[in-house]
Chains A and B, each alone.
Chain A
């Protein structure tokens, strides 16, 4: 790298840095040099290094030198487009960007545009484009579907993708990349700039960002910050055997908060957030201002918390991944991670929230919720110290996403198939797309891709006389624009305060408290109490799209806010945990009670070495148990259990059920399992026919298919004027899945859904690695009773709720039959014995 002096910085900007008492950082200057060379660039830097400013500086300089902006014609359009994965981040960046613009006195117009932006403002933006437009990937997909988008973006000089490490690898990344190619075709000189947190292999993102080969993207690395100080809460003598909540440590967490200025308390699910928030307030004798922030809360509620943070009015905020990404809402002193972080990268991201000054170390405290989590937290701590991060692997571009993009293109302008094919092949995720598959996707967009060609006259896109494709009617285009995006959420209900009128009729009578997944309320009967938005509520019933609740006096909610992590433990953390378990010297970093637990396990059963997998069998009551310890994360374990129970069924042992944790799995059966041939049972060939057969019946396939059908536009989520809840669906995607599977099993969307399920929900790739790893390395131990290691997974079994009361025995049994039947076809394991 060449040496830089301040000459890269125009005097106006140099003076501004000086007036603030700052010196521009090396990577900020390197980004300016990259821009002057006209090169794409990827900046990889830790939080607190002035990363966002580095991304914008070249545009600010360019705009400052531009002089007066023409009112129309060339040069009058958007100069720089900024895309961030979070709506809130655009607001934050707008505020931060305005500081230098105002202080330098630049005549630069900055606006943001998200799903929350008012219609009138959006309209004005179309007529009078700002110089810098801040937006989200979903809005970019919408831009692509605008009529006139080509002209609107013809002046675009630069696109800045913030937190690109958090978007690039999934379907959102696919859609964003397709949007990039679109913009590049509107404005061939467009420069792509990615801003990323520290990653192991920046070339992955360089490759993704580049329109050609990765080398076309200049890599700029920020200086590493001071190493973070990460501690694990030891809770001597109190670490529970099992659990997800960290309840035992609440008093210690409270004491820690009291000593710090502002603490962020991260949890992995929103129900954990509710639980921790509730528990902290229960002992909040000093009335510390402790707030709650998660994705289900009403937007105004979240904005209030954010504003209070920014003002410095709060001492602690309990939050989920909604605050993972780089928003600066105040000076955070300490990050507390309740329950294991499940991945070193997530932990690093969260730690980065504490202390946005590069040269001072961030402070973080992990609070393990169980003994296995104690091991996992120690492993995560060491991984952070070693800079060993885990990131999702690269994948081929998804076809449902491609279908959505093609539809968007057809809504904007008539396209030539061959030209569009070349444009799409310029996107890294779609470099391997064959012409045949592309044609299939276009057919899917046009008529649904069915062998039975009865829909040709209803085609959504049609060929013009010139042989180009365009949307058939303006109405179809409007429907498409209402359904853009790849984030498919479960059907949600508004949680509203209600009351009963005379006559018992339930009415909405108060404010909206937030939103929650419909299936959460499926478990509830009217009168059941639960915690939401930091209060205890009584569920009253559902009307339309509202779940009505009333304030409950009950301090002890009936419906537990339980639930494990939604993220499985990462592969690299899992490896570290396995290594730690077999390394007795390593045990010394653990608290005494956890060490004793490990020693007890060694005495009663066995401590497996890192290469082998322990399988315990024992009897408990009338049930026979098999407990295995693959340490490969909940998703892979779940899939493994589904497949194992099929095999055990064939082996005649009568499997009755299973449960999994991130560390282990337990299967129980009518007959003993200690005499089985475990090497045969765990043979990797289960990923062949067994997987195929099970997958076809799996409810997860149906869910995955639904997502693919929604993303591809085969089915629409939203239609004008028709907000329907899941309770009033007009057709069932499950039925569509069944019909399609029977009549056209090779349909493009079924193939897409299978690939998605294998990669995501089922974690098949990881299961494959696991089975290969343990082949010939299984260590069976027949025990007379449950081992210390088996307790956490056995405790899970008691968690299952069993509904109904004894008076309804006959019909209850019928209901049980129905559940059992569905479980048998979907999840053979979860049937309680």
Chain B
């Protein structure tokens, strides 16, 4: 990573293993969970939960374990309890498909109700869940929280899908970035944040979400200089230089 990038981002590590960075000057914490924490405004951001992905596959004949929603929600609860956010913003694709809301188990609905009651709760719409969020919901169970397409917080602009070109302050999900580090003849593949200090792409937060390699063409055109990667370890986030991944 070049010195300029290093200076712009000025990554430092917190005791919990998270990384502090600055995006367009705004203090951001890259959490081990894959969530983004804005300490100055008390905002917790997570992307691509893909709730009910398991049942979406089951519907088409692949019987993935039906436990993904509860695992993802438990992970989100742990973050909420740890950080006590003023607001939670989910960056879109929170639900895997339009039928997800209807398929949610009662226990998981109760958990969503409890979580959304604890603070201001905002669902950004994504390509997977704009139908689910815009009225396809079960009339007996209106989804709690606000639904928006995009929003600004200070210098940051929160959207689901990153746009090509220079978008200073953009915070996006959608791509499910992951990176492979190789040493000792073994590749280790992990979900990661991708940032150059001007914009950031969050890893997917959901339990079954697969990843797209950061070297995939979908990432080209987003960063002028090779960005830094922050890979999710078991109990810490690892800053990686672009040229250290395969």
Residue ranges of A at the interface with B (Cβ–Cβ < 8 Å): 444, 447-450, 452, 454-455, 458, 460, 475-476, 479, 519, 521-525, 541-543, 714-716, 727-732, 735-736, 739-740, 742-744, 747, 800-804, 808, 810-812, 814-819, 821-823, 825, 830-832
Contacts and interface: CB of A to CB of B under 8 A. Distances in A.
Contact of B59 (A450, A458, A524, A747): A458
A183 to B, nearest CB: 27
14 contacts: A448-B64, A450-B65, A455-B58, A455-B66, A458-B58, A543-B217, A731-B53, A731-B208, A743-B70, A744-B67, A815-B240, A819-B181, A819-B188, A825-B234
Interface in B133-189: 180-188
B66 A454 contact: yes
A739 B187 contact: no
Interface string B187-209: 11010000000000000000111
Contact of B58 (A448, A449, A728, A818): A448
Interface in B210-240: 210-213, 215-217, 231, 233-234, 236, 238-240
Given A731-B210, A800-B184, A815-B240, A736 B246 contact: no
B1, B66, B103, most chain A CB atoms within 10 A:
B66
Contacts of A458: 55, 58-59, 61, 63
B182 A736 contact: no
B244 interface: yes
Given A458-B58, A716-B61, A742-B67, 15 more contacts: A448-B65, A458-B55, A460-B61, A522-B187, A522-B246, A525-B246, A735-B207, A743-B65, A747-B65, A811-B241, A812-B241, A814-B240, A818-B190, A818-B231, A832-B184
A523 B71 contact: no
Interface residues of B, number: 49
A734 to B, nearest CB: 9
B59, B61, B209, B212, most chain A CB atoms within 10 A:
B61
Given A735-B207, A743-B65, A811-B241, A819 B183 contact: yes
Contacts of B66: 448, 450, 452, 454-455
Contacts of B184: 800-802, 819, 823, 830-832
B110 interface: no
A735 B244 CA distance: 24
B240 A523 contact: no
B246 A524 contact: yes
Contact of A830 (B1, B55, B186): B186
Interface in B32-63: 53, 55, 57-59, 61-63
Contacts of B67: 450, 452, 739-740, 742-744
A716 B60 CA distance: 11
Contact of B64 (A541, A715, A801): A715
B238 A736 contact: no
A566 to B, nearest CB: 15
Contacts of B190: 818
Nearest to A727: B213
A815 B187 CA distance: 11
Given A454-B66, A808-B241, A814-B238, A730 B183 contact: no
Nearest to A450: B66
Contacts of A523: 182, 185, 187, 246
Given A523-B182, A817-B233, A739 B244 contact: no
B63 A802 contact: no
A449, A475, A521, A727, most chain B CB atoms within 10 A:
A727
A731 B210 CA distance: 4
B105 interface: yes
Interface string B80-123: 00000000000000000000000101000000000000000000
Nearest to A563: B185
Contacts of A822: 186, 188
Contacts of A821: 233-234
A519 B210 contact: no
Given A475-B61, A732-B208, A808-B1, A815 B185 contact: no
A475 B60 CA distance: 9
B207 A739 contact: yes
B208 A812 contact: no
Contacts of B127: none
A747 B66 CA distance: 13
A542 B246 CA distance: 10
B53, B67, B213, most chain A CB atoms within 10 A:
B67
Say whether chain B's binding surface is mostly helix, strand, loop, or mixed: mixed
Contacts of A811: 1, 239-241, 244
Contacts of A831: 184
B68 interface: yes
B243 interface: yes
Contacts of A815: 181, 183, 238, 240, 244
A739 B63 contact: no
A727 B185 contact: no
Contacts of A715: 62, 64
Contact of B62 (A714, A727, A804, A818): A714
A447 B55 CA distance: 11
Given A542-B215, A801-B185, A802-B183, A736 B64 contact: yes
A455 B58 CA distance: 7
B1, B66, B103, B184, most chain A CB atoms within 10 A:
B184
A504 to B, nearest CB: 11
A449, A743, A815, A831, most chain B CB atoms within 10 A:
A815
A559 to B, nearest CB: 11
Contacts of B1: 808, 811
Nearest to A476: B61
Interface in B10-38: none
Given A715-B64, A818-B233, A800 B185 contact: yes
Contact of A736 (B61, B65, B212): B65
A729 to B, nearest CB: 4
A803 B62 contact: no
Nearest to A808: B241
A819 B63 CA distance: 32
A522 B55 CA distance: 33
A492 to B, nearest CB: 15
A454 B182 CA distance: 40
B96 to A, nearest CB: 10
Given A447-B63, A448-B58, A739 B208 contact: yes
Given A739-B67, A743-B67, A808-B1, A816 B61 contact: no
Contacts of A819: 181, 183-184, 186, 188
A739 B68 contact: yes
B233 A460 contact: no
Q: Rank and list the top 5 A-B pairs by shortest CB-CB distance, nearest first.
A: A448-B63, A522-B187, A743-B67, A729-B210, A811-B241
A810 to B, nearest CB: 8
Contacts of A476: 61
A716 B213 CA distance: 21
Contacts of B57: 731
A739 B181 contact: no
A811 B183 CA distance: 13
Nearest to A521: B246
B63 A804 contact: no
Nearest to B243: A808
Contacts of B59: 458
Contact of B244 (A747, A804, A823): A804
Given A476-B61, A727-B213, A815-B238, A804 B55 contact: no
A803 B58 CA distance: 41
A289 to B, nearest CB: 35
Contacts of A810: 239
Nearest to A471: B61
A736 B187 contact: no
A740 to B, nearest CB: 5
Nearest to A714: B63
B180, B183, B211, most chain A CB atoms within 10 A:
B183
A415 to B, nearest CB: 18
A801 B208 CA distance: 32
